[in-house]
Structure 1
Amino acid sequence: MNKKIQMNKQIESYFRWPLIYLAFLFILTLILFYINITAGIISLAFLLVAVAVSFFIGVVSKRHLMSEVINYALTFGTLQKNFLQKFQIPYILLDIDGRIRWFNEEFETMIGEKKILDKNINALIPHLNSTILPVEDDTVFEKEISLEDKIYRVIIRSLEIDDDNTLDAYDRMSDSGIIYATYFFDITNEKELQTKNDDQKTVVGLLYIDNYEEAFQSIEDVRRPLLVALIDRNINKFAKKIDGVVRKFEKDKYMIIFQKKYLRDLHEDKFAILDVIREINIGNELPVTLSMGLGVNDYSYIQSMDFARVAIDLALGRGGDQAVIKESDKFLFYGGKTRGVEKSARVKARIKAYAFRELIEDCDKVIVMGHKVQDLDSLGAAIGIYSCARLLDKPVHIVLNEITSAVRPLYERFIEDDNYGEDLFIDNVEAVNYANENTLLVVVDVNRPSYTECEELFKYVNNVVVFDHHRVGAEHIENTVLSYIEPYASSACEMVTEIIRYISDKVKLRPMEAEALFAGITVDTKNFVIKTGVKTFEAAAYLRRNGADVVRVRKLFKNDMESYKARATAVRDSEIYRDKMAISICPSDIQNPILVTAQAADELLNISGIKASFVLTNVDGIIYISARSFDDINVQLIMEKLGGGGHLSVAGAQLHDNTIDGAIEILKDTIDEYLEEGEKK
């Protein structure tokens, strides 16, 4: 309205100028009459002519000029309306309820319907509704939608209607005084070009045969060339299928390069090449398994190769027989259906032991830490590392914040023994104060930084060593100087015992240290029943020779009466889900509910027909889940979906900001998803 008023004033001002001229001439005439009558008469004649001209302009020309202005405005309005109607971009006006108040021909063509006016936009385009309309002035909503075989970028902008000076047609559009101009830009070709460009980008892959040596040792010499030929043939067929280039650069290692568009096919068939390689059997006792690491980086071939190396390390760290894709900060996992195969060769352990010894000799002090809420395997492995550092005359400290009932008996034995200093066990604050650039940090029984006793400690040290037997997840400790992760190992204590055997020929463990390691192996193998291999018994025999007493070790596992009752309650009140899964709740009002939860999960597997058990407990608002399994149920994959991890038969997870009932529902949904996917161990 203000703009229109301003325009009217400008037009009126043009018609005031003649009056100003007349006033000027009138004054001039008076002055001339005063000076000279003849000059005044001449000036009066000019004044009369000017009055006549001004009258003509003010009366006759003004009406004609205003008619021309009005005619131009009407012509321009019609032109503007026709322009919008014939506008090549689909364009509509919406009211505050999302109803269509006006549309042009392109929108009608885009929708393919005739009756559009007054319809709600959601009825024509399900992706749009009134809830997405901008609520603030000068705000714009933008969204990409798919309509039939087209892709559109939709832009919605609010327009305010001036109620005091609008046409009736616009008044009827919106009672609120606001309408929404909506544009539809066809970006189908643009998206197709983007997709085509993305599909042509390069993916770098590394393929490793996990158990090359073991598989070949299990077959006759004359058949070994045939096994190699079958592996090469299937990998080459796989490469040809995805139009890739594959090259063998070691006897058990391959590199492959292919276009990114074929990743979709690999996703759909869940990397069937893993199953193809595993099914090769020409008399070999051990199945051949393949691990694959794929790196995807849109801008750098070098970065893609680095991603592929990280992915293959992660695949091997998770036990092999799987594919891992790394793209930016994301990881995708496929496979991992089989148990890790124990490698009988001692070369790897010996090399790791020598490298570990050099690291200890080069550092000023050693700090050892395990996972939060420590168990006997974590603390026993830490004590084993202490023995190595003591052998090499290096100061060593173990980070231990919370003394749980699971480790209290072992902890008290070391505290009461005069052979061990008061600073053997330290808390987070002391650990940070002790740490410096030349400190060696050794992490045992965990490979996730957020699960360690003191995550902050990683900021203060440069050299980190990891010994763990859990499968590696997307979150893992990076930039380690030495990483020894073997998912096939029964326990961290077994791995540390093997390191101790090779770190020096003169290692002599004290009986308490041997018992700590023996206890860790015992608790993680459930008394040498689960995940035991040749190395497990060799480690146990070595510890027995160093003074480990089985009776004293058994005393470390004793529970108080309340814990025993809580475990019995969890077993008694368990629910059978999907015919073969046991789900239960462990009371949390006991001394160490997390330990009892794990014990209850173990106990439930002793019931006939139960193939997997899940026991939950609530500790300080965090829901802890312990999962165990037999046969073909892979609880590690189930727990990974909940943000946890572990092994195929022993795993766990933590759920934050949830209730027990809510956690059980989430767990059931996850089990259903796992069973539908048909994942097997």
Structure 2
Amino acid sequence: MLSAACIALCVALALVKPTYLVFVVGVLLVVGIVVGLNIRWFRHRLARLLHGASDASSAAQGSFAAMSVPVVILTGGSVAWYNDAFRDDVMGGRDVCLLPMSKVVPAFMPALAKEKTGQNIEFGGQRYSVYGSGVEAGDGLFVAYFVNNTTLKRQAGEYLATRPAVMLIAVDTYDEILKEMKESDRARVAGEIDLALEQFIGATTGFLRRISASRYIAVVEERHMQEIVKNRFSILDKVREIGEEAGTVTLSIGVGRLAATLREGEAMAVQALDMALGRGGDQAAVKSAEGFEFYGGVSRSVEKRSKVKSRIIASAIKDLMAQSESVLIMGHRASDLDALGSAVGMLRFAKLCSKPAAVVVNERQSLGANLIEEFRRAGCGDDFIEPDEAEKCIDKNTLLVIVDTHLKAILESPELYRAAKTVVVIDHHRKCVGHIDDSVVFYHEPYASSASELVSELLQYIDMTKENRLTPLEAQALLAGIMLDTRNFSLHTGVRTFEAAAYLRRMGAQTQAVKKLFNSSFESYAYKAQLVTDAEIYMGCAVVFSDSVPAELSVVVPQAANDLLTINGVEASFVAVDNGAQVSVSARSMGDVNVQVIMEKLGGGGHLTMAGAQLRNTSLEEAKRRLLDAISEYRESQRTEKQKNS
């Protein structure tokens, strides 16, 4: 009060006698210094009275004061008391009594400190774990303990940063590219690959070793793996540029990250590499406790399959059928001509092994109704049974063959799969997370055009007689599956595709009869035309969302997606239809857009140029939002990749 009165008189004097301004300023300066020193002395004296051990007025206060752990007591959000350890260790000897805690330690939050794990705070170059209890607001008391664990946290951070990540690297195109070169060119390209990998790993503290002609193993620290992931495995792009003159050279990388032991990390890397190869190669798959992450996969797959493997698989399946009493074959939900065609092929395989067999299909939701109807006209309608009927007759001696899918979530009958003791999988789609992992035989070839192509090859390695052989109708079913997935041999075809088609033609398949299997009714054609008319262009993609297509006409969905690709400027097409039970999405592209990656974000999968997803318990509006977000995210990643490469 005296200081305030003195300041007021000085101001009045300066107004009356401006000549005394210098004197007034001097007086105010002295008053300010005196007031500041007194406040500081008062705060220090008050702090000593409140937190000093010798002045402790209670046993509790004395106990807190003697603690080596910094303790502070708050009331109304302000500092009411603290011990010497808090002042010296946390505040650096500064007294902060009665100051708001938000100014003393801005990062401190009582609500977090009350949690079982406490609150981690970095203050004054030190790291603390703060634990508290009491009333956070009002007149109550809140006690906070500041545990200095700087050294422990730094060591823990260093431990995590130095965790080894195991990396398995495979040259995808070694057999297809390098082995066809002259010795000098092969040595040059192999040397460039070695140099690129050595520079890639040499930028880290890890090491690289060659374990075979086309495989390497590397171990790097987690701190460097974070940078590698941040750069989205730039080595993939660098190696892809090496063999551009002689042919594309690509890598597949599997990484086991944050494993408990090196052995576990190596096992995770093996799984990750298998996943990368199963998705077509030219990408990196990272396996951690949280699951898989994928990087790359921007180039087309290079066909690499061995007829020896087909013969071995055919022999293995024949042996399994010999040990079984019956065989059931099923594909994916909403089965198409490829699923039904390959199932019919495996049905003939089972008959050649003299085993009773049937194809499990939900005819009401099948997209291959024309094919089933053709078999009924031929007197083979009993070869197709409904899922609920199959679930009643399956037993421990039944062999279940799954075709055209390897995902548990989209099987025609998940219950049938769970009831089966012996399972065989035949599929050509790129491997996805959630695949069937308990099959006896897992024949997975992402380089094949279709499951029908794979089954056609298997049939060539089983003995047939003139009386018991593939019928023309069965050959036409297999050829229809190949034509569907290759869009009449225009996409995703290789030498083996045409070899399989030639074999089916020799077995009596008539192309004009196959073409009729793709015919549709006038009503379905009208719905397809309406879907094409309703299309909108979004980021270079044609997208359609509809809830007016009947469930029995869902075959028009992929047909509309194919037709949309014929429009100039459309790089990919997405058709989503709500049929009540689920929202079905069909995606197609000409190769510039990887629709498999986009569909995987919706829980689906497929190939680079053909993919799909089935969203259950999802409204059409929600499906639209998710699809557009997935397209935007993919386009953004494409833009980032182009900027990085440029």
TM-score in same-fold range (> 0.5): yes
Given the alignment, which residue of 265, 276, 279 partners 1:304?
265
Q: Give the conservation status (yes or no) of the 8 Å contact 2:172–2:252.
A: yes
Q: Which residue of structure 2 aligns with residue 394 of structure 1?
A: 355
Is 1:277 paired with 2:253? no
Q: Which residue of structure 1 aligns with residue 590 of structure 2?
A: 630
Q: Which residue of structure 1 aligns with residue 415 of structure 2?
A: 456
Is 1:350 paired with 2:328? no
- Partner SS, residue 281 of structure 1: coil
Describe the shift of the 1:277–1:463 C-alpha distance in structure 2 as closer, same or farther (beyond 3 A): farther
Structure 1 residue 591: Cα displacement: 3.8
Given the alignment, which residue of 45, 58, 77 partners 2:57?
77
Describe the shift of the 1:85–1:416 C-alpha distance in structure 2 as closer, same or farther (beyond 3 A): farther
2-side partners of 1:229 and 1:250: how far apart? 14
Q: Which has the larger Rg?
A: 1
Q: Give the conservation status (yes or no) of the 8 Å contact 2:164–2:257.
A: yes
Is 1:477 paired with 2:436? yes
TM-score using structure 2 length: 0.81
1-side partners of 2:124 and 2:448: how far apart? 54
CA deviations on 1:103-144 (whole Å, 9 max, x unpaired) are 6377788589988968585996568476x697xxxx857344
Q: Which residue of structure 1 aligns with residue 82 of structure 2?
A: 104
Structure 1 residue 323: Cα displacement: 1.3
- Partner SS, residue 457 of structure 1: helix
- Partner SS, residue 430 of structure 2: coil
Q: Which amino acid aligns with 1:174?
A: G
Structure 1 residue 93: Cα displacement: 5.1
2-side partners of 1:227 and 1:99: how far apart? 69
Is 1:615 paired with 2:575? yes
Is 1:155 paired with 2:131? yes
Is 1:225 paired with 2:193? no
Given the alignment, which residue of 499, 520, 532 partners 1:538?
499
- Partner SS, residue 538 of structure 1: helix
2-side partners of 1:333 and 1:83: how far apart? 56
Given the alignment, which residue of 174, 178, 191 partners 2:138?
174
Q: Which amino acid aligns with 1:674?
A: Y
2-side partners of 1:599 and 1:622: how far apart? 19
Q: Which amino acid aligns with 1:260?
A: E
CA deviations on 1:628-669 (whole Å, 9 max, x unpaired) are 222422121122222222111212223344332333223222
CA deviations on 1:21-64 (whole Å, 9 max, x unpaired) are xxxxxxxxxxxxxxxxxxxxxxxxxxxxxxxxxxxxxxxxxxxx
2-side partners of 1:342 and 1:412: how far apart? 35
Given the alignment, which residue of 206, 221, 227 partners 1:265?
227
Q: Give the conservation status (yes or no) of the 8 Å contact 2:352–2:464.
A: no
Q: Give the conservation status (yes or no) of the 8 Å contact 2:546–2:577.
A: yes
Q: Which amino acid aligns with 1:547?
A: G
Q: Give the conservation status (yes or no) of the 8 Å contact 1:227–1:282.
A: no
CA deviations on 1:303-343 (whole Å, 9 max, x unpaired) are 22222221111111100111112223511211111111113
- Partner SS, residue 615 of structure 1: strand
Describe the shift of the 1:206–1:621 C-alpha distance in structure 2 as closer, same or farther (beyond 3 A): same
Q: Which residue of structure 2 aligns with residue 662 of structure 1?
A: 622
2-side partners of 1:447 and 1:228: how far apart? 35
Report how many residues are paired: 584
Given the alignment, which residue of 352, 355, 364 partners 1:403?
364
Q: Which amino acid aligns with 2:450?
A: S
1-side partners of 2:638 and 2:448: how far apart? 26
Is 1:652 paired with 2:595? no
Describe the shift of the 1:114–1:660 C-alpha distance in structure 2 as closer, same or farther (beyond 3 A): farther
Which runs of no fewer than 5 residues in structure 1 stay unpaired?
1-72, 161-172
Q: Give the conservation status (yes or no) of the 8 Å contact 1:121–1:129.
A: no
Q: Which amino acid aligns with 1:206?
A: L
Q: Which residue of structure 1 aligns with residue 218 of structure 2?
A: 256
1-side partners of 2:74 and 2:336: how far apart? 64
Q: Which residue of structure 2 aligns with residue 209 of structure 1?
A: 171
Is 1:372 paired with 2:333? yes
2-side partners of 1:147 and 1:441: how far apart? 63
Given the alignment, which residue of 472, 478, 503 partners 2:462?
503
Given the alignment, which residue of 500, 511, 522 partners 1:550?
511
Describe the shift of the 1:354–1:155 C-alpha distance in structure 2 as closer, same or farther (beyond 3 A): same
Is 1:575 paired with 2:575? no
Q: Which residue of structure 2 aligns with residue 465 of structure 1?
A: 424
CA deviations on 1:79-113 (whole Å, 9 max, x unpaired) are 74476578655555567xx8446463777885899
Is 1:195 paired with 2:157? yes
Describe the shift of the 1:540–1:298 C-alpha distance in structure 2 as closer, same or farther (beyond 3 A): closer
Structure 1 residue 387: Cα displacement: 1.0
Structure 1 residue 534: Cα displacement: 2.1
2-side partners of 1:102 and 1:665: how far apart? 53
Structure 1 residue 608: Cα displacement: 0.6
Task: Provide the identity percentage.
Answer: 37
Describe the shift of the 1:300–1:367 C-alpha distance in structure 2 as closer, same or farther (beyond 3 A): farther
Measured on the aligned residues, the alpha-carbon RMSD in Å equals 3.3
Q: Give the conservation status (yes or no) of the 8 Å contact 1:368–1:399.
A: yes
The 5 A counterparts of 1:323-362 are: 323-328=284-289, 330-343=291-304, 345-362=306-323
Q: Which amino acid aligns with 1:537?
A: F
Describe the shift of the 1:591–1:183 C-alpha distance in structure 2 as closer, same or farther (beyond 3 A): same
CA deviations on 1:138-192 (whole Å, 9 max, x unpaired) are x8573445568654434343359xxxxxxxxxxxx726xx554344434443222
Structure 1 residue 607: Cα displacement: 0.8
1-side partners of 2:300 and 2:126: how far apart? 47
Given the alignment, which residue of 506, 513, 523 partners 2:484?
523
Q: Which residue of structure 2 aligns with residue 240 of structure 1?
A: 202
TM-score using structure 1 length: 0.77
1-side partners of 2:307 and 2:219: how far apart? 34
1-side partners of 2:589 and 2:506: how far apart? 33
Q: Which amino acid aligns with 1:642?
A: L
Q: Which residue of structure 2 aligns with residue 30 of structure 1?
A: none
Q: Give the conservation status (yes or no) of the 8 Å contact 2:107–2:121.
A: no
The 5 A counterparts of 1:418-457 are: 418=379, 420=380, 422=382, 424-457=383-416
Q: Which residue of structure 1 aligns with residue 38 of structure 2?
A: none
